[in-house]
Chain A
Amino acid sequence: MATVGLTDVRKTFGRTEVIHGIDLEIADGEFIVIVGPSGCGKSTLLRMVAGLETVSAGEVRIGERRVNEVEPMDRDIAMVFQNYALYPHMSVFDNMAYGLRIAGRPKAEIAERVRAAARMLQLEEYLDRRPRQLSGGQRQRVAMGRAIVRKPAVFLFDEPLSNLDAKLRVQMRLEIKALQRELGVTALYVTHDQVEAMTLADRMVVMNEGRAEQVGAPLEVYARPATMFVAGFIGSPPMNFLAPADLNGAAAPALLAALPPGTAAIGIRPEHLELVPADRAVLSGSARYTEALGAETLIHLARPEGQTLTMRIAGSPEGIAPDAPLHLAAAPATIRAFDREGRAIVPT
C-alpha cells in the first residue's frame, strides 16, 4: 500500500555500470512485472528496491520516502526469492513468524497472523513441518506466506516460479495474482518468462542491457512495441523482421508507399500474416515445416532471399504441401515500422 518511485537509478559493480538509469513511477496497488533476457539487470534493479544492493546513483522512493540509505527491514517490503530461501531448521510456522518475532510482536498476534496467512495459502496442515518435508509448490507458498504475514507495503518477487513445473507454475501464477488483488499490495515482479509478464502485469517493464526499453500495459507493449528488441522479445514465436526491400510481391509497391519515411525495418507478427492469392501478395516463401499445435498451426517458411518467416494460422495445416510456394500479405495497420536505430516509427 504504497507508491514506489525510481529516479534515474543506476548501479555500478566495480567499474562496470549494469543499470544505466531507470525511471519508473509505480502507483499504489499496481502490479509491475520486470521482464528481460538473462543478465539484463532485472534482479539487480529489484534488489536495489529491496535494499539488498546499494544504489550507485539516483533515488529510490517507497511511499514518497527516499529509502536509498534505509535498511531492508525498515523499507516496509517483503521479498520472495527464486529458491524460496526458507530457514531449513525452522518449522513452517517459525519461518513465517520469524520476521514478526524480531519485530517484537506479541505472541498472540503472531500466531493469529501466521494462521491467517496459512489459511489463505492452504498451508494450515503443514505448519509443523520443516521446509524439506514440503513439495516445491508448498515451499513456494511458505515463501509467499512469510511475505504476507509482515503486511508489507510492497511485495518484491524475483522469479518466484522458475523452480516449479509448468503446470504448477500456471496455478501459482493465478494464485499470486489473486492474492495481490485481495491484499491490494503494490508488487514488483521479476521474470524472464513473457507469459508470466503478460498475464500478471498491470504494466510491464521490458529491460535490455540495463535499460528500460518500454514501460506499458502488456497488450499495449505487444501491439505497439517501442523498439525492435521489445518486438522480438515479447511474443512467441517472435515478430518477423524484414527490410522494406524484401517486400517484392505483386502488392508490395502499394504497401511500401504507405510506410513512413525513414523505415529501415518492418515487423510483422506471425498471426498477422495470411495466405492470399499471388496478385495480392507482398511476400512469398515456401513452407519448410509446420508445427500443428491443435488449435493453431505454426508454419515456418523459407524465403528465396534466405530469411525464414513464421506464420501462425488457426486450425490444422491441411492443404499446405511442403515446399509449395505460398503467397502472403498482412494488413497495413498491423505492420510495425522501425528506424535505423531500431526504434518504432510512430505514424503521425
Chain B
Amino acid sequence: MAGMVEKRGLGLWLTHLGLILGVAVIAFPIWLAFIASTVSQPEIVRPPMPLLPGDRFLENYRDALYSGVNVPVARMLFNSFVMAMGIALGKIAISLLSAFAIVYFRFPGRLVFFWLIFLTLMLPVEVRIVPTYEVAARFGMLNSYPGLIFPLIASATATFLFRQFFLTVPDELAEAARVDGARPMRFFVDILLPMSRTNIAALFVILFIYGWNQYLWPLLITTEPEMNTIVMGIKQMFPAGDDVADWPVIMATSILAMLPPVLVVMFMQKLFVRGLVESEK
C-alpha cells in the first residue's frame, strides 16, 4: 500500500518474524488436519503423529465425499450450502426491504416496528432456541431446508446496517427520483439497490459464513443424516462407544468444511473490503 510508512533494517525483520510466528501458530492445527486427511488410520493413531503429507489424499477425500460416515460429505456440503445461501440471501432481502420501509415511509407504528426489530438483536438463536424449536416443529419444518433457514433469517443486524446506510443517502435523491417519475419500488430497485451493492457484498460474506458455521440449530432441527449440515455433521461422525473413529475421513471432512467460506471470502474480497471501508455516495 502506497500510504504506509516504510520500515527498514532490524525493525522490518522483527516485524516479519512476529507475523510469521503468528501465522504459524494459527495455521498449525489446520496443517495437522490436512496431514491427517492424507494418511491412513493406523498412521494417525501410532505416535508420533506424521507432520508431512502421506499418499492417501485421493482415497480419503473420495471416501469422505462419496460415502462419509453416516452420509456422504457431498450431501452435507450441499445442505450447508443451501442453508448458508438461504440465510445470507434471505437476510439481505428482508433487511433491505425493512430498512427501506423504516427509512422512507411514514406509517403508523413505524417506531414500534423499529423497536421490535431492535429487540431481536437481544435475542440470538441460542436464547430463543426452545420456543423456536417448538414453532418449527409444529410447522413441520424438522429435517427440512425451511426449518434450517427461516429461524435464522429473523434478526436485526442487517436491517440496522442498511438503515444506517439509507440514512446517509441524501433525501434529494429520493425527491429527484420522485420528480423523474419513479414510484417507490422503482426507486428502491434502480437507485437504492445499486448504491448499496458494496454493503450487500460485505454483508453477504459475513452472513454466508455465519450461516455456514451454524452448529447448535442444525443439530437440533435435523435428525436424519440426509439433512445434516457439514459443521454439525463432523461431530456426528465421531463414533459412539468403542468404535474406532475414522480420523482420516473426519479430517478430510473438516478441510472440506473450511473450503467454501474461504472461497467466498477470496472471490468477494475486493467488494467486501470496499463495502467495509467506504460507502458510495
Contacts and interface: CB of A to CB of B under 8 A. Distances in A.
Interface of A: 50-52, 71-73, 77-79, 81-83, 85-89, 98-99, 102-103, 146, 150
Contacts, number: 58
B195 A81 contact: no
B43 interface: no
Contacts of A71: 178
A147 to B, nearest CB: 9
Nearest to A72: B179
Given A73-B180, A98-B190, A102-B180, A87 B175 contact: no
Contacts of B280: 88-89
Nearest to A47: B175
Given A72-B175, A85-B175, A86-B176, 9 more contacts: A50-B175, A71-B178, A73-B182, A87-B177, A89-B195, A89-B280, A102-B180, A102-B186, A146-B176
Contact of B179 (A77, A86, A103): A77
B170 interface: yes
Nearest to B194: A89
Chain A interface, >50% SS class:
loop
B216 interface: no
B233 to A, nearest CB: 42
Interface in B170-196: 170, 172-173, 175-182, 186, 190-191, 194-195
Interface string B181-218: 11000100011001100000000000000000000000
B228 to A, nearest CB: 42
B8 interface: no
A99 B181 contact: yes
Contacts of B178: 52, 71-73
Contacts of B186: 102
A87 B191 contact: yes
Interface of B: 170, 172-173, 175-182, 186, 190-191, 194-195, 280-281
24 contacts: A50-B179, A52-B179, A72-B179, A73-B182, A77-B179, A81-B172, A81-B175, A81-B176, A82-B172, A83-B170, A85-B172, A85-B173, A86-B176, A87-B176, A89-B191, A89-B194, A89-B280, A98-B177, A98-B182, A99-B179, A102-B182, A102-B186, A146-B180, A150-B180
Contacts of B177: 87, 98
A71 B175 CA distance: 11
A102 B190 CA distance: 11
A177 to B, nearest CB: 22
Nearest to B186: A102
Contacts of B173: 85, 87
Contact of B180 (A52, A88, A98): A98
Contacts of A50: 175, 179
Given A81-B175, A89-B280, A73 B170 contact: no
Given A85-B176, A88-B280, A103 B170 contact: no
B180 A99 contact: yes
Nearest to B174: A85
A78 B179 contact: yes
Nearest to A147: B179
Contacts of B194: 89
Q: Which of B181, B182, B191, B281 has the most CB of A within 10 A?
A: B181
Contacts of A98: 177, 180, 182, 190
B62 to A, nearest CB: 47
A73 B179 contact: yes
Nearest to A97: B180
A254 B50 CA distance: 117
A157 B215 CA distance: 58
A255 B129 CA distance: 92
B192 to A, nearest CB: 10
A209 to B, nearest CB: 24
A103 B195 CA distance: 22
- Ranked 7 nearest A-B pairs via Cβ: A73-B181, A85-B172, A99-B180, A85-B176, A102-B181, A89-B194, A81-B172
Contacts of A78: 179
A242 B235 CA distance: 92
A271 B178 CA distance: 47
A88 B170 CA distance: 11
A73 B173 CA distance: 14
Nearest to A50: B179
A81 B170 CA distance: 11
A77 B177 CA distance: 13
A81 B182 CA distance: 17
A81 B186 CA distance: 21
B199 to A, nearest CB: 13
A340 B190 CA distance: 57
A314 to B, nearest CB: 44
A40 to B, nearest CB: 20
A146 B178 CA distance: 13
Nearest to B176: A85
